[in-house]
Every structure is written in C-alpha cells, then in structure tokens.
Structure 1
Amino acid sequence: MSAPLTPPPPPHEHSARDAWQPPSDGHAAAPDPQRKTGHAEYPRHGRWYEQDGPGMKTEMREAAVTAVAVALGGVLLGVLWWWLAPRVPLVGDVVSGNWVVYLKDTEGEQAVGVDGTFSLLALGFGVVSALAVFLVRRRGGVPLVVALAVGGLLGSLLAWRIGVWLGPAQDVVAQARSAGKGVTFDAPLKLNAKGALLAWPFAALVLHLGLTALFGPRDPDHFPPPDPYVPQGPHGAASGS
C-alpha cells in the first residue's frame, strides 16, 4: 500500500509591506508613518513633510534682507539724534598766547542729555523694528532673530556716525578762533556712554521674542490623542455602566 500523497508546503507568504509595488499615476507612494527609519513623517494638509518651514537658504536670504533693512533705519535715528540732542555750550579764551576751550556751564547736564536722547531714541527704534519684523514674518526663527540683533547694532553704529557728522565740527580750537574770545559755541556731538549702542538690539530682541512666544504660530501635535480606555467584560465585550 502506497503512502498518501501530501501537498508540498506552501511558499513563503510575503506581506504586502515587503512586496514592492510601483507608484501609480506617476506619484510616489506615501511613506508609512509607522516605519522604523529613525524618524517619522507626518501628514499635513494632504501632504507629507519631514520638517516644517522653508529651507535654510530661504531663511538665510530673509535674514540678510532683514538685517540690511533694519540697519538702514540708523540713518533716521542719526538725524533725529542730531536734531533733538541738547547742545553743550563751550567758550574759548586765550591763555599765554594759546587758545583754551572751557565748558561754559561746568555743572550742566547737557552731555548726559546727549547720551540719554540717543538711548531713548534707540529703544524706540528697537520696538518699532521688532514689531515690523514680527508682523512681516510671524514664524520667526534663529536666523531672523540674529539678523534683527545684528541689524540693530549696525543701525546704532550708523546713527552714531551720522549724528557726529551732522553736528558741529570736531576741531573745537578752530571753532573758538572763528567765534572769538569769550563767545559761546556748540560742542561737537559726542556719545560718551558707548553702552547706548546696545539699546536698539536689546530692545528689539526682547520684544520680538516676547511677541513670538505670545502670538507666534504653534507647532501642531504630531501624534493623535490616545483612544479612551474602555473596560472589557468577562467575554471581551465592553461592560456597560
């Protein structure tokens, strides 16, 4: 009596995940968010993205434009500083055949007012620039914040030099000779407190970071909320209340 014929063992069944299928309609197949590739991809508005936001080249280009635009505001700051800063009165005299220049009011605070005027104007420009940058690009980003700080510092330096250039001449002895002995004339515009140059970038950074934290866009939750727990009965069915 012959042994019963047994069917050959079935071939190894490959899962649908292992089988390669060509993309349909010329589009690549959507990636599986559960695939263990070291990072997950998540859908947004019907598309798949590995990271949010524009590319680094776009961010760097926008940051460069922002830095230049903010720095150019230093021209207006310099003009306002020259126009609004108090004047420091000087007077010239001849001692032993040489011209000597003195402060007319030794107890005056005009020099302090010059530094204070620059600082207050710089703080205002920092507020305006931070608000303008935030309204133009709410998303923010590290390159944009750095560009805002660099632009504010460059704008302060530009304003300082423009104000000095528009102010009285730096040669006070020549001014005293031109004005005459005992005649009052204005001292050159001078920024004694160099820390005032940081008022613009500091104010811009603080306000921009605050606006971004309060009103900036929020990153969406990549993972869906977990399913609510439903207690199971003795036979696997959900137990009633």
Structure 2
Amino acid sequence: MTAPGADPLVWYQSAPGTRAAAPVRPAGARRRAVGVTLGAAFLLTVLGAPLGLLWAAIAPDTPVLKTAEGAIYAQPAPEQPIAADGWFSLLGLGFGVLAAIALWFLLRRWRGPVGLVAGVLGGLGAAVVAWQLGRRIGLSTFHRLLETAPNGQAFTKPADLRAGGLEWLVVPYGNLLLPAFGAAVAYTLLAGWSRWPSLRPEPDLEGAWPQAGPAAGEGFSSGPGDRPAR
C-alpha cells in the first residue's frame, strides 16, 4: 500500500530488475545533445563522398566539340545534363531517406530534435560534398583537351549540376536540398508513426508489476478458496 497522495507507480523506480533514470543536469544534457547532433551530421557529410562517386559513375558525360571559342555541345539539345540532374536528385533523395532511418534506429536515446537536426545538416553537407567530388572526376582531362585538342575534335564533359549549386558560396539551393528534404520528411514520418509519446521505447508497466513471494503469504486472489490479497 502507498501513502495517501503518493505516486502509485513510485515502486517501479525501485522494483527488482528495473533501473531508475539518473538525474541529468540540464547544461550537461544540452552539451551532449549538441555534440551528438554535430557528430552525426559530420558522419553523414563524410558519407557524401561515396555518394558523389556513385553519381559520377552513373551520370552520363556530355559530348562536346572543340572550337576556336571553346567547347560547344555536339548536339543542339543534349539530354545528358538533364540526366545528370535527375540522377543526383534521385540519389540524394534516397540518401536522405536512408540517413533518417539510420539515425532513428542508431540514436534511439536521442530521438526527436537531435536526430532531425542531424539529418538535415548532414544531408546538406553530404549534398555539397557529393556534388563537388563527383563533378571533379574527369574534369582535369576535360580542361587538358580543351587547351590542347585541335578544333573540331570531339570529347566529353564530366557531369555537373544545372539545377543546383551554392549562393554566396555557402547557401545551397536547388537539388542540393533534396538529401536534407528526404531526411526531414522520413524522420518526421517515423516520429509520427511511433507508438511511444516520447519516441523512445518505454517500460511495460503490466509486465513489471511486482509479484509477492509465496513465503510472505501475499498475492492476488484467483479463486474462491484463496486468501484475499491486501
């Protein structure tokens, strides 16, 4: 029995097999949250390197012709630049969704704003890294042919983005935003479908209800001949 006005679930914090949550100072908790957010965002940014390599391998190069004024498209309206933008958009959106799922399961303790902010910042960083790395693969060969090739020679230009880039050298726009967008949408949907209000697994109160030992003569009544419980 508990005293009048006492928390009826206070026994759970000291019940055998359970572990009460240790008090955490707000300042320390905020520092750890910021550290986890920046660490996860940095890891996602680094993963933008393989994303850029994959994009450079899939996106087609654009055929060009060397002229006295420079390189021009070999075709009046080439489809390769559009395909490069499309592949980057699809890969970036998929990267963001996978990043949100990974953050949701790997950072269970920090589910909520920490995972969401980490996914958005990491998606933006990964997009910039993937774009800058992917567009530079084969770029030195293109510049060398542009300087040394005779007029009329055909070669290819590496894939680049036309629907995305950086404004003021720091602000991404266009399809560079898709990884962050995919991460934000996927993480928000996971949070909306969570069956726990705190977004983290909570203890099962029914399974943790304390059972009285038979030696103590205590228990719940299960039949007409049983001794009534307290």
What TM-score do you get using the length of structure 2 for normalisation?
0.67
Alignment of 1:139-158 (within 5 A): 139=109, 140-158=111-129
Whole-Å separation in 2 of the counterparts to 1:79 and 1:48? 45
- The residue type equivalent to 1:80 in the other structure is L
Computing the radius of gyration over CA atoms, which structure comes out larger, 1 or 2?
1
Q: State the shift of 1:170 in Å.
A: 8.4
Deviates more, 1:58-67 or 1:122-131: 58-67
Partner in structure 2 of residue 117 of structure 1: 87
Number of aligned residue pairs:
176
Q: State the shift of 1:61 in Å.
A: 2.0
Q: Which runs of 5+ in 2 are unaligned?
A: 14-19, 165-173, 203-230
Q: State the shift of 1:177 in Å.
A: 4.3
Is the Cα contact below 8 Å between 2:104 and 2:115 reproduced in 1?
no
Alignment of 1:130-209 (within 5 A): 130-139=100-109, 140-169=111-140, 172=143, 174-194=144-164, 195-209=174-188
Identity rate, percent: 28
Q: Which of residues 69, 76, 98 in structure 2 aligns to 1:106? A: 76
Return the structure number with greater helix share.
Answer: 2
- The residue type equivalent to 1:117 in the other structure is W
User: CA, structure 1 residues 33+85, in 2 after alignment: closer, same or farther (shift >3 Å)?
Assistant: farther
Q: Which of residues 62, 66, 69 in structure 2 aligns to 1:88? A: 62
- The residue type equivalent to 1:212 in the other structure is A
Partner in structure 2 of residue 73 of structure 1: 47
Whole-Å separation in 1 of the counterparts to 2:102 and 2:187? 9
Whole-Å separation in 1 of the counterparts to 2:11 and 2:47? 39
Whole-Å separation in 1 of the counterparts to 2:84 and 2:158? 11
Q: Which runs of 5+ in 1 are unaligned?
A: 1-31, 35-41, 221-241
Is the Cα contact below 8 Å between 2:101 and 2:187 reproduced in 1?
yes
What TM-score do you get using the length of structure 1 for normalisation?
0.64
